[in-house]
Structure formats: C-alpha cells, structure tokens
Structure 1
Amino acid sequence: MKTPETIYHHLIDSFTRQEVCFALYRLPWTDEPILVMQEEGSPILLNSLEELNQRKGFLLSPFQLTHTRPAILIRPDIVAHDWEEIKQALQEWTTRHPASMNPIQSFPKEKEEVDTTLQPSEKEEKEQYTETFSRFILPLKEKLFRKLVLSRSSVQPLHEAFSPLTTFIQACNNYPRMMISLCHTPSTGTWIGSTPEIILSGHEEEWHTVALAGTMPMQGEVMPTDWSKKNKEEQAFVGEYIRKTVKRFGSKLTEKGPYTARAGQLVHLKTDFHFCLKDTNHLGNVLQELHPTPAVCGLPKEEAYRFILQTEPHDRLFYSGIIGWMDPQGDTTLYVNLRCMHVEGNTATLYAGGGILPDSTADSEWEETQQKMNTMRNILSI
C-alpha cells in the first residue's frame, strides 16, 4: 500500500491526539484503505450489542460491555475509499475545521521519557502468566470447563518517530490476509490491529462467519498441517458453538472446513459457515449471541466468561471485542479484535491469548502468545 502525501499523513496521525472520532481500515486481499469519520462530537455509545439493530457505522466494542465501558459506533458522516478520495474528504473537512491543521506544525511531537523501570521484564511477565495459567488449568482438569481462553498484555515503549498511520500501512503491506485497522475516539484512545477472524459479514440474505482456533507457527514459507489433538479439539468446540448459534438465526447453512489458514507468520484451523439471513434489522441480536465466541472465551460460555473476568489479572478493554463496519442495508464486515495494541502516549499495550484445554502446558501456551504478539511487534520494529 502506498503512503499518502505528507500533509495528510501528518493530519491523520494528529487525529489520534485530538477530539476526533475516526477509523481507517483495509479488508483482506484488497489494497484499498477506507476512512470512516465523524464530522464532530462524540460517538454513539451502546450498552448492549442489541442496540446495534438497524444502526450503521464503524463499531469498536469491548470484550465486556459495561455502563462505564460501552461499545462505540463512529457515525459515518464521512466515508471515503482509497487515498485520492480520502485526500479529497480531508481537504473538505479541514476547510470546515481549520483549527485541526495546527497540530501539523508541531509534528512530530516532542518525545517524553518512558520509565522502563516500571514495566515488568519478560521474566516477570512469564511468571505472572504461569501463575494465572495454574488457576485456569485446575478447573479444566476438574472438568468444570471444556475450554478456557487465557490472555495477557505486554507494554512496549514506542520509538521517537512512531507514526500510527505508518504502522497501519506496514501492517497492510505485511499481512494481506488480515483486516487491518486504525481506530481512535477520545473515549477509547487509539487502537491498531491486524485480525484474521470474521465474526459476522455479509449483505442482503447472504452471510458468513468462521470458527478459528488452533495455532502453529509457519515453517518458513511452508504452512504446517500436522495438527495436534489439542488444536483439533479446540477448533471443534468453537465450530460446534457457532453452528448451533447460526442455526437459531439463519437457514441454508453450509460449511467448509476445517482447513489450515495462514495469518501472518501463524496458521490456524478454520471453518467457514455460510448461511441465509432474511431479516437484517436484528444484526445486533445475532452479535449478542455470537460474542464472545469460544475462540476468545471458552465453554460453557457464560460460566467461562465470568471466570475470565474474575481471574485474568488485566482488563482486556477492546481486545477480543468486535471491530469493523456495520450497515444492515448494505455490506457488513465485522471482525474479532485480535492481534491488536492500545497506543497511549509513548507506549503500546499489546494483547494476545490462547485456548486452554486440560492437557495444555504453560510453556507452550506462553510461546503461542509470544508468536501472536509478534504480529504487532514486528510492525513496530520496522
């Protein structure tokens, strides 16, 4: 993907330091950036996914919706495709908001000192992860759960020349198979992600979702296909749940998979579910039942969800929530917000997780989260 002219590059970066609500995203196997932006004001706040029914806009929804952390929907006052159209839209927007151009004069901002002594070392992070893993594995071995998903976060300092838009473009260039996003609102802060997992996409009566679970690293440029029993079981649990959920809302269900699908330097087991949905006015109800899928939560769903909220030592925020474009009367492309990071000042908090089954080990699951975090780390190091 090419880079826009410097002035617009700086302008988009400056939006992440202003009271501007916008999202820039690129769908898999395309080279077209799409900008969704509000003219002004706060985004629409939603306390439940059902409130999305008949609404249109760019969605960023947390793993756990609460009154203090609602889902946000960026109103599509401006929607522009490809850099030339985005450039024209930004030109028109800046004539209406001339003060927005001021931050460009001081770009890049002065670097603040990052106190790395307050950030845990990798050894300390792994010790905490191992301790939490032990609290997850016990109820699994006692058969209280069929599966649990344990996630973790890691804070990384950003280099002085860090640019949100440059990071977005690098992700687009490096990960053609994934949905790439750069999203900012004053209430959520700035999120950058590269996710392979659709939660709901489609238009009119034709709809699609996936079961995505199981993880292995690429072997150079060769995709491994020798899946372990643990990975196959994990994927089967997710597929079973999605199959039952889709049947409640849709008809004419067809499946493809499971098959090996690449996502960056990782591969996953994937099953595609295609179905007919005659009433698109209640997409929020479908999302309410799908989210969180066992791929980011566990089974039984409600019990696993409560256990995660009580046991994980960090707040997932918008990691493993929902992100993407929603239009009940047009095209909808919503994804699970994976392989993502939250940018705050001169640091980025990276998130990753993995499915835990009774025969899982702390070392192998830690390594899986490392590989998943490398999706964003590798972009930051460029």
Structure 2
Amino acid sequence: MIELKEENIEAVLQEAIDTIRPQSSRLVSITKRVEKVDTLAFYDVAKQIRNERLFWTSTAEAYTLVGAGSAIEIIARHNRFETAEQIWNNLLEDAVSNNPYDVPGTGIVAIGGAAFDPEKEKTALWANFEPIRFTVPEYLLTEHEKDYYFTMNIVVREDDHPRQLANQLRREERKLLESLPKYGEDTHIVGRHDISPNKWKQTVKLATNEIQQSHVDKIVLAREVRLKLDKEADSGNVIRKLLNTQPNSFIFSFEQGRDCFIGATPERLVKIRESSLFSTCLAGTAPRGETEEDDARISYHLFHDQKNRGEHDFVVQMMKKAIESYCTDIEIPDEPVVYPLKNLQHLYTPVTARLNEGNSILDIIKNLHPTPALGGTPREESVAFIREHELLDRGWYGAPVGWLDNRDNGEFAVAIRSGLIQGNEASLFAGCGVVKDSDPEEEFEETNIKLTPMLSVLEGEK
C-alpha cells in the first residue's frame, strides 16, 4: 500500500492515476479530520446519495462508524474467511492511502459480516446477504474519543480526470457533513406471526433427546417471528431508538435497498487494537427485575444457577481453546460477573490476550465462530443438528458482524438481538441453549424475552 501525505484531493488523485498500471484500477483513500458531525444525520443523508448504508457503534466506548455507498465489495462463497482475507490483502497491496491519523477505523476500512452457516440452504429472505461480504464505503465517518474523521474512498482508472473526481467528492462531502437529520416516523406492529411455535418446541424436545443419547452437551436453537408494520420502517429512526434504549451494546445496521439487517447486541466476539486482543464470554440469561430487590434476587439466582453457569463455562473453555494457538498472555478470570442490560442480564467473563505476529482478526473469527453460546458444544455435532432440524435460515443472525482496517485493527460482535427489516415487514430472531434437562415451554419464554429489545423499538416505544 502506498502512503501519501499530500492534502490536496486533486493532487492525490493525480499521483495515483499517473502511477497506475495500464488497463487497471486502484483504490484511493483520503482521510481528513472534521468538526463534530451528527452521526445519525450522516446516516440519514447517505440514503439520498447512495443505496447502501452501514452503521456500527460501540456505545460503551462512544466509537462509531457510518458508511455511505460502496467503493469496493469483498464477497466470498467458498473458503469464505481465507478467500476474503486474500482479496483484502490484494486490495491493500496496490491501494493509495492518504491518512495521517493513527486512529482505528480511519483510512481503508471494510465493514460487513458473514452468514451463520454457509452450508445451510439459503432462503429468499436472505437473498441480499452473502456467505461473507465486506464493503469499503465510498464515504466513511469515524467518531473516536469525541473526534471526527471523514474518509473518501474512490476507485480510479488511468483515463480518469482528477479535477472532475475531486469536484464530485467535495460536493458529496458537503452534503453528508452539513445536513440535519430527518428522522422517519415511529412504526407500530399491526401483525405478528410466530413461525411454527409448536413445531419449534418439538425440536427443543428432539434436541434434549439427542443430548441425552449422545456426547453432545448443548444445542442452540433459534426461531423467527415475522412482523407486519403500519408503515415502512426507517432504519435511522430504529438506530436512534436503539441508542436510547440499549446502552452497553454494539448497534449495527447493514442496509441494501429495502433490506436492512439491524440490531443491538451485547456480545463482542473479538476486538484487536495494536495486537492486543479483547473478547467476551456472554452466556447465561435472565430478565431484569421490576424492583431493585427483585433485580438483585434474579441476579443472585442467575449467578448460582447450575444450568446457566454450565452454559457459560462451555463458552469460556471454548474461547480459551480457540485463541491459545494464535495468542500469548491470555488472561481469563476464574468466575463470571452478572452484566445488566435494560431488558436482560447475562453472565459475563472478559478475555484479554496478545495476538501473535502474522495472525489476523479473521483468523480469530474463523476459529471462534460459532461460539457455544450460538451453536452449542461440541461445535461440529451441534451445528449439524441445527442445519438439519432448525426451522429457519439464520442468515447473518448469530454470526460475526463488524469491521477491519488497513492497520490491522478491527472489532466484531455476534449479531443477536437483531432483525431483518424489509419495508413494512420484519423478521426478528432469538435463540436459546438447549441442554439435557431443558423444558420447551421455558426455552420458548426465554426467546420471548430476547425478542423484547427489537419488538420495543419497532412498536414505537421510547
């Protein structure tokens, strides 16, 4: 990758074009620091400019990425993680970057995700979501520690005119950075269809029989609820409401035309900053109490509940095994803590380590996904059961979503507490960990609790 320090847009483009190989193209990326920008206004205006929008934020860290349009698409259908990484590395080799800031998530950034199980037969519901897909946005806004950075990414060819391209970039920059938000109206749910609830409960029973008769310890089963809304949902408004109601979450949106995969997940899969690895073990769930005393009682029961502690330990042990060949200095506490969210509370264990040189965030993701919290344990057997018996195509639900940059930083979360919005309809997804003594009715109720965050914002609740 070529690093340029020239600040003039036209000069950067001219140099990139002058040194391009004949009959080829290259990515040019230009980053500048800007005054404070309303991230939701940027997301709102992006729809007027391009048909593809991306949003990612870690609310606990006040870190946000907002993308508009697509300069480059990285899509892989076979050997997806290895293929995607090879395409990414090839892209960076010939790219031109003008980014003087050592800030994660600036410069050349790819944002996207993957399907939970690429071997599961794909349905029409997920037609616009590939087994793995990363987008390098044409325009990217990065909020980091209350500072704001704007990146323009453009693919140039040898016969392009630098001045014409520069003028186009400046026009769209002004529109993106200077507009005010125009939030859509709240939606209300006018119809709800739980997909085959009785058959789902029978599948839970089938899973408990499988566990009792084999060496499988846990199988995670998900289900789908299809909603009818009174109007087309505005994803910007949904993001705004998730930001207001789901603190300590990763809020994401991947929008292509009328399809938008969106959610607020509490579960980090992995984060890399300057070779330091951070991850989260999040398994074991209970509702919040209506009073402080009730909340404390539920928290105490969650912490001491054998089933939930067992589920959580599955995740912790898998995490350690998955990263130990890629990392050194692994630190994992002996016991979890209870992690409260607005509607739910979870058992939580943080993980830190040092990533070995030569390994990447995609190496870690490939080895971690799916965690026992989303697939089960042992992994191969539990995923095989899900593939054969689960009543839905999960698509990107329960799978890694996030970003990586050209300086080996990145962060991915597990896409739970999420839904796929399609105009005035939406599919919401929720799952639960089935073990040998699971009760189908109790597991069904647990999924209802996990549906609450997305149901609330689509129903127009504050």
TM-score band, normalised by shorter chain: 0.7 to 0.9
Is structure 2 residue 253 aligned with structure 1 residue 182? yes
* Offset of residue 81 of structure 1: 2.7
Alpha-carbon displacement from aligned partner over 1:130-162 (angstroms, at most 9, x marks no partner): 122122111012134111001001011123263
Secondary structure of residue in 1 paired with 2:117 = coil
The 1:39–1:58 alpha-carbon spacing in structure 2 relative to 1, beyond 3 Å, is: closer
Map residues 264-303 of structure 1 onto 2, 5 A cutoff.
264-279=342-357, 281-303=359-381
**C-alpha contact (below 8 Å) 1:52/1:283 kept by paired residues:** no
Structure 2: which 5+ residue stretches go unaligned? 1-35, 89-108, 123-129, 153-166, 177-182
Is structure 2 residue 79 aligned with structure 1 residue 79? no
The 1:38–1:345 alpha-carbon spacing in structure 2 relative to 1, beyond 3 Å, is: closer
The 1:213–1:346 alpha-carbon spacing in structure 2 relative to 1, beyond 3 Å, is: same
Equivalent residue for 1:154, pick from 217, 225, 238: 225
The 1:320–1:271 alpha-carbon spacing in structure 2 relative to 1, beyond 3 Å, is: same
Alpha-carbon displacement from aligned partner over 1:68-90 (angstroms, at most 9, x marks no partner): 7321101144221359969998x
* Offset of residue 95 of structure 1: 3.6
Q: Which residue of 1 aligns with 2:262?
A: 192
* Offset of residue 94 of structure 1: 9.1
Alpha-carbon displacement from aligned partner over 1:94-115 (angstroms, at most 9, x marks no partner): 94599x9xxxxxx979x9xx99
Q: Which residue of 2 aligns with 1:355?
A: 433
Q: Which residue of 1 aligns with 2:68?
A: 37
Alpha-carbon separation, structure 2, partners of 1:276 and 1:6:
34
Q: Which residue of 1 aligns with 2:306?
A: 229
Is structure 2 residue 11 aligned with structure 1 residue 11? no
Alpha-carbon separation, structure 2, partners of 1:329 and 1:88:
15
Alpha-carbon separation, structure 1, partners of 2:39 and 2:113:
28
Is structure 2 residue 101 aligned with structure 1 residue 23? no
Alpha-carbon separation, structure 2, partners of 1:133 and 1:81:
43
More displaced, 130-139 or 350-359?
130-139
User: What letter matches 2:112 in structure 1?
Assistant: L
The 1:244–1:96 alpha-carbon spacing in structure 2 relative to 1, beyond 3 Å, is: same
* Offset of residue 126 of structure 1: 2.6
* Offset of residue 53 of structure 1: 3.2
Q: Which residue of 2 aligns with 1:127?
A: 198
Equivalent residue for 2:234, pick from 156, 163, 187: 163
**C-alpha contact (below 8 Å) 1:205/1:277 kept by paired residues:** yes
More displaced, 213-222 or 238-247?
213-222
Structure with higher RCO (Cα < 8 A, 6+ apart): 1
Secondary structure of residue in 2 paired with 1:151 = strand
Alpha-carbon separation, structure 2, partners of 1:85 and 1:377:
32
Structure 1: which 5+ residue stretches go unaligned? 101-106
Alpha-carbon separation, structure 1, partners of 2:388 and 2:250:
30
User: What letter matches 1:226 in structure 2?
Assistant: H
Secondary structure of residue in 2 paired with 1:243 = helix
Alpha-carbon separation, structure 1, partners of 2:260 and 2:375:
24
The 1:332–1:7 alpha-carbon spacing in structure 2 relative to 1, beyond 3 Å, is: closer
Q: Which residue of 2 aligns with 1:104?
A: none
Secondary structure of residue in 2 paired with 1:167 = helix
User: What letter matches 1:80 in structure 2?
Assistant: L
Q: Which residue of 1 aligns with 2:323?
A: 246
Map residues 280-359 of structure 1 onto 2, 5 A cutoff.
281-327=359-405, 329-359=407-437
**C-alpha contact (below 8 Å) 1:342/1:349 kept by paired residues:** yes
Secondary structure of residue in 1 paired with 2:363 = helix
Alpha-carbon separation, structure 1, partners of 2:243 and 2:381:
37
User: What letter matches 1:190 in structure 2?
Assistant: C
Alpha-carbon separation, structure 1, partners of 2:339 and 2:245:
16
User: What letter matches 1:201 in structure 2?
Assistant: K
Secondary structure of residue in 1 paired with 2:383 = helix
The 1:369–1:94 alpha-carbon spacing in structure 2 relative to 1, beyond 3 Å, is: farther
Normalising by the residue count of structure 2, what TM-score does the alignment of the two structures yield? 0.70
* Offset of residue 125 of structure 1: 3.9
Alpha-carbon separation, structure 1, partners of 2:371 and 2:226:
26
Alpha-carbon displacement from aligned partner over 1:43-82 (angstroms, at most 9, x marks no partner): 2102312234373511211101359732110114422135
> How many residue pairs end up in the alignment?
365
The 1:213–1:71 alpha-carbon spacing in structure 2 relative to 1, beyond 3 Å, is: same
* Offset of residue 31 of structure 1: 4.3
* Offset of residue 8 of structure 1: 5.6
The 1:378–1:142 alpha-carbon spacing in structure 2 relative to 1, beyond 3 Å, is: same
Q: Which residue of 2 aligns with 1:258?
A: 336
Equivalent residue for 2:273, pick from 184, 203, 224: 203
**C-alpha contact (below 8 Å) 2:327/2:355 kept by paired residues:** yes
Alpha-carbon separation, structure 1, partners of 2:231 and 2:256:
23
Secondary structure of residue in 1 paired with 2:324 = helix
Secondary structure of residue in 2 paired with 1:320 = coil
* Offset of residue 30 of structure 1: 4.0
RMSD: 3.6
Q: Which residue of 2 aligns with 1:103?
A: none
**C-alpha contact (below 8 Å) 2:419/2:427 kept by paired residues:** yes
| Runs of 4+ residues deviating >4 angstroms | 2-10, 12-15, 82-89, 91-94
Identity over aligned pairs, percent: 22
